[in-house]
Structures are given as structure tokens and as C-alpha cells.
Amino acid sequence: MLIADTLKDRQTAITVSELAKLLTLSPRQLYKMAAANRIPNFKVGSSIRFDPGEIREWIEEGRPVLKRKPPVSARPVNNNARLA
């Protein structure tokens, strides 16, 4: 059975350890991919989760590198600020 088929009927978010097993990657590698926005992901508190539909599409599209989204907490840097 293909990975995309495994995810077809899945209704709940996928954890890092579950997806690591499906993709035969280490959890550490998945964390790195998520941090670099190379795989669709979202956060629940401080935990990373994966939407099964988005992962399925990502796999079917050949695992493309995603455009980097800035973190919500990102603020512009004021280069003119003086250090105290």
C-alpha cells in the first residue's frame, strides 16, 4: 500500500513519530524539515503536527520544497537601536 493511500482516510493530525515511520525518516529529520518549511506542518502548542490531506498532496506533488513562512512572532529588526 502506498503512503498516500494510507493517509487517504485519516481524519486526525499526524504526530512526528507517526509520520517518521511512514516516510522512513528519523523524527529529528522531520523536525529539521518542518523548521525549514520543507514539509507542510502546523503547531499545537509547542508540538508539531501534520495534516494528513496536506501531506498526501505534498507526496503526490513529489515532495516540493515549500516557500518559507515567517514565524508569527517575527518582528522587523530595528538596526538603528542603540544597545544600553
Q: Cell triple for residue 62?
A: 513529489
Let me know if residue 32 belongs to a domain.
yes
The pLDDT confidence band at residue 79, using thresholds 50, 70 and 90, is low
Let me know if residue 26 belongs to a domain.
yes
In this predicted structure, what is the pLDDT of residue 6?
81
Phi-psi region for residue 45, left (φ > 0), alpha (ψ -120 to 50) or beta? left
- Number of independent structural domains in the chain: 1
Let me know if residue 30 belongs to a domain.
yes
Whole-structure pTM value: 0.71
**Which of the two residues, 68 and 25, has the higher pLDDT score?**
25
The arithmetic mean of pLDDT across residues 36-50, rounded, is 94
Let me know if residue 65 belongs to a domain.
no
Let me know if residue 12 belongs to a domain.
yes
- Domain extent, residue 49, equals 3-60
pLDDT in tens, 54-69: 999 998 888 765 555 5
Length of the chain: 84
3-state secondary structure 24-56: CCCHHHHHHHHHCCCCCCEEECCEEEECHHHHH
Let me know if residue 77 belongs to a domain.
no
